[in-house]
Every structure is written in structure tokens, then in C-alpha cells.
């Protein structure tokens, strides 16, 4: 993704009097894959991009095509428009990668090659050493929090006890990073996976992620921080949320795998605790307060997602976007858009009103009183 940004293949493009930010032309990308030896031929390049679509990494800018077509169609990385599914599980994975990078860049790192029972292990550390380091570096506030973080990393297959016999403890037990985040990956690795497991034979793959006891609840998307200064498109659009699943083994015996549900099940679960009707919302004495928000969209959008209907609600808010700055919050109900009452409309219609309206958006929302 970053290489495509650097090569100017990802850029703002205009089509039918509308500008689509941070997107690429499928046909041009297929050419690029072949020219840069990421794919031997067009057929392989198409299969690779389809894998990225299946993993909710890229999508058609209007979500009108569920498959990748080698044509003059516009696609976009979900990380660039704020719809990348950043669940609790993925956050742990990203945290593990961040800690790994910090550890390997240290002059006197606690990561060392060590032996146990005459077997040599790479990238190892003692549990108590890791906890000391986490507290010292300010990654956590106390040792209890450090143990919880270590257990989360182990449950997601990022670290493990060297012989897979113990969970994570504040002790002198020996652990190692199960994933080598530094290994250079090739896109063609994606084609080695089976239909039910993602890169099962590649423990170093960035797609290796599985939780022992997956959290079935879905969460709203949050824009993933980019590694370079690339603007994030956070306009009103549909987002896809996925949950991760794994087996019930107490510890890992094989490389963890990232599992996604079918495309048909990719719509996010509502953030509302229960449905609310217009009558309930507007009834005298109802525990709701009306607020007026003025949101000045930037070059790429407003930074929130509307879902539901009659009334619609705010499903997700980009924490770094204009909407969040204006005071918008998840679970608020949309009362009006630019002076027009929208309580009787569905989210597709409201989204269309916003997308085709002025850059400065005036919205009335109703928020539950705590």
C-alpha cells in the first residue's frame, strides 16, 4: 500500500464529475504487480487482489463490485478511508507488532537467543523481564496490567512459552515471539492458504492471528494510523466489520490463522443496545437531549458512519476526523441534516443527502442522557 502511494498509483481521481480520493485503477495496478515482479502474470495478479478483497483490505470505491476486475474500475485500501475492520483482536496484533519493533531496535534488548533443555530458541525473553520492561517504558501502569497484556499477546499467538506448556506469568519462564514481524513478505504467500485457514504453514505471516476465546461482539471501525503522512478518507460510507474465530485448544500447536466470515455477513452489528422508535425518541420527558453540530468536511470527508433507519444512528466516528472534533459520538440519533428532518429516512438516503450536500454540514442529533 505504501509503495503504491509512493509510486503515485494511489491518488485522487475524478470520474463522472465526482472526485474519489486515495484510489487506484485496477488495470494499472495489475500492470504494476507484473512490472515489479509481485505477480508472474495477470491471472495471478487478479487472484492476489481478490485475496485482499476477501480479507477486507481493499474494496471498490462505491462497493458496487464484490470481486476484483482487471479493468478501468476504481478500488481503494480500506486503511485509507477508515473502513478497515479494527476489532479488539486486530488492536492486540498491532500492539504486539509495535512492541516487537521497539524491542529489536533497542541496543540492549531483552530479546535474546537462549537454550532450554538443550534446545536453542530465537527472540526469547523471561516473563518477569518483559514485565519489568513494559513498566519501565511506560507501556503499562503496573505489573498486573503487564501480565494482562502478556496474556492477550499469548492468546493471539503473537508470543508463546517456548515449549507451549504455560500461559504468561510474572516469572522466570521462557517465552518467545512466535511471529517474526521483520520478515519480508511476498504477496504470493496469500495464494498458499487453504479455503479454511489463512497461511496455516507460515507462522511468520502478518495474517497469522487467532484468539483462543474469540470475542463474538463486533465493534465500530476506528481509522488505523498510517505509517506515513497519508490522508485518511473518513466520509460517510458503509463499513465492513469482521470478527475472528479460532479453535478451542488451550495453547497453540500450529500457526494461528486469521479467519473472516463470508462477504454476505460483513455488515457491522449495530452499536445500539436496543432498537429505539421515533415515537420513543420524541415523546415528552424522553431521556434524550438535542444537539446541533456543525461539521466542516475536509478534502476527504466528514469522518462518521450512519446506519439503521427511522431513526438512523451514528454507528462509528473517526476519532481524528471533523465529526469527532465537532462533538459527534457513537449511538447519537440523526434528527436533521442541513435543516431537513430525516427521522423517517433510512441510512442510504441520509448518506446520499450528506455526500451530495455542501462541505459544511449542519446536523441535529439526539443523545441519550446518562
State the cell numbers at 352: 446520499
Give the HSE-up count for residue 315: Cα atoms under 13 Å, Cβ half-sphere.
27
pLDDT digits (tens, 9 = 90+) for 24-76: 999 999 999 999 888 999 999 999 999 999 888 899 999 989 899 999 999 99
* Residue 200 pLDDT exceeds 80: no
Spatial distance between the Cα atoms of 147 and 90, rounded to a whole number of angstroms? 19
* Residue 142 pLDDT exceeds 90: yes
* Candidate CATH numbers 1.10.645.10, 1.10.10.10, 2.40.110.10, 3.40.50.2000; the one for domain 88-177: 1.10.10.10
Helix (H) or strand (E) segment spanning residue 20: strand 18-25
Domain spans, the chain: 1-77, 88-177, 278-368
Task: Assign 367 to helix, strand or coil.
Answer: strand
CB-based contacts of 131, cutoff 8 Å, min separation 6: 143, 146, 147, 150, 170
Which pLDDT value is given to residue 181? 77
Residues 161, 218, 264, CA angle at the centre, nearest 5°?
Answer: 110
Instruction: For 187, list phi and psi in degrees, rounded to 5.
Output: -60, -30
Helix (H) or strand (E) segment spanning residue 54: helix 42-54
Q: Contact 309/337 with Cβ under 8 angstroms?
A: no
Helix (H) or strand (E) segment spanning residue 289: strand 288-296
pTM tops 0.75: no
Helix (H) or strand (E) segment spanning residue 11: strand 11-15
Spatial distance between the Cα atoms of 315 and 298, rounded to a whole number of angstroms? 20
Spatial distance between the Cα atoms of 240 and 79, rounded to a whole number of angstroms? 12
Which pLDDT value is given to residue 167? 92
* Candidate CATH numbers 3.20.20.70, 2.30.42.10, 2.30.110.10, 3.40.50.720; the one for domain 278-368: 2.30.42.10
* Candidate CATH numbers 1.10.10.10, 3.20.20.70, 3.40.50.360, 3.40.1190.20; the one for domain 1-77: 1.10.10.10
* Residue 118 pLDDT exceeds 50: yes
Q: Which of 137-146, 154-163, 218-227 has the lowest mean pLDDT?
A: 218-227
pLDDT digits (tens, 9 = 90+) for 237-269: 333 322 233 333 333 333 333 333 333 334 467
Helix (H) or strand (E) segment spanning residue 304: strand 304-308
Longest dimension (CA), the chain: 75
Which pLDDT value is given to residue 193? 54
* pLDDT band of 128, cuts 50, 70, 90: very high
* Residue 135 pLDDT exceeds 70: yes
* pLDDT band of 220, cuts 50, 70, 90: very low
* DSSP per-residue string spanning 122-158: EEEEEHHHHHHHHHHTTSSSSHHHHHHHHHHHHHTTS
Of 223 and 130, more confident: 130
Which pLDDT value is given to residue 144? 94
Share of the chain above pLDDT 70, in %: 78
Of 258 and 184, more confident: 184
* Residue 204 pLDDT exceeds 50: no
> For 171-181, what is the mean pLDDT?
88
Task: Assign 6 to helix, strand or coil.
Answer: helix
> For 321-336, what is the mean pLDDT?
91
Spatial distance between the Cα atoms of 290 and 167, rounded to a whole number of angstroms? 49
* Residue 311 pLDDT exceeds 90: yes
Amino acid at each position: 500500500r505504501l509503495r503504491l502511494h509512493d509510486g503515485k498509483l494511489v491518488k485522487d481521481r475524478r470520474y463522472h464529475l465526482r472526485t474519489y480520493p486515495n484510489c487506484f485503477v485496477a488495470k494499472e495496478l495489475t500492470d504494476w504487480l507484473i512490472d515489479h515482479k509481485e505477480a508472474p502474470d495477470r491471472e495471478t495478479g487478479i487472484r492476489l487482489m481478490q485475496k485482499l478483497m476477501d480479507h477486507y483490505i481493499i474494496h471498490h470505491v462505491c462497493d458496487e463490485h464484490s470481486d476484483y476486475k482487471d479493468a478501468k474500475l476504481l478500488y481503494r485500501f480500506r486503511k485509507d478511508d477508515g473502513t478497515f475492520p479494527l476489532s479488539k483482536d486486530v488492536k492486540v496484533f498491532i500492539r504486539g507488532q509495535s512492541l516487537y519493533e521497539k524491542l529489536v531496535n533497542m541496543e540492549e534488548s531483552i530479546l535474546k537467543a537462549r537454550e532450554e533443555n538443550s534446545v536453542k530458541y530465537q527472540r526469547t525473553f523471561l516473563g518477569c523481564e518483559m514485565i519489568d520492561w513494559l513498566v519501565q517504558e511506560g507501556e503499562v501502569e503496573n505489573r498486573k496490567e503487564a501480565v494482562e497484556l502478556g496474556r492477550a499477546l499469548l492468546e493471539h499467538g503473537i508470543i508463546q512459552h517456548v515449549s507451549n506448556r504455560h500461559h504468561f506469568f510474572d516469572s522466570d519462564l521462557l517465552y518467545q515471539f512466535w511471529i517474526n514481524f521483520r520478515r519480508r513478505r511476498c504477496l504470493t504467500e496469500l495464494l498458499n492458504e487453504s479455503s479454511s485457514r489463512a497461511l496455516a504453514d507460515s507462522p511468520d505471516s502478518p495474517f497469522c492471528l487467532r484468539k483462543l476465546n474469540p470475542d463474538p461482539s463486533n465493534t465500530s471501525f476506528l481509522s488505523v494510523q498510517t505509517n506515513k503522512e497519508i490522508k485518511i478518507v473518513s466520509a460517510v460510507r458503509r463499513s465492513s466489520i469482521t470478527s475472528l474465530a479460532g479453535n478451542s485448544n488451550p495453547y497453540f500447536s500450529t500457526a494461528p490463522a486469521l479467519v473472516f466470515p463470508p462477504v454476505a455477513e460483513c455488515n457491522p452489528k449495530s452499536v445500539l443496545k436496543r432498537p429505539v422508535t421515533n415515537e420513543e425518541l420524541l415523546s415528552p420527558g424522553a431521556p434524550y437531549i438535542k444537539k446541533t453540530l456543525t461539521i466542516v468536511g475536509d478534502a476527504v470527508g466528514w469522518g462518521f458512519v450512519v446506519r439503521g433507519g427511522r431513526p438512523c444512528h451514528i454507528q462509528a466516528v473517526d476519532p481524528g476526523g471533523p465529526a469527532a472534533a465537532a462533538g459527534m459520538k457513537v449511538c447519537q440519533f440523526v434528527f436533521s441534516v442541513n435543516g431537513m428532518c430525516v427521522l423517517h429516512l433510512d441510512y442510504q438516503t441520509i448518506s446520499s443527502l450528506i455526500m451530495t450536500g455542501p462541505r459544511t454540514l449542519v446536523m441535529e442529533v439526539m443523545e441519550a442522557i446518562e
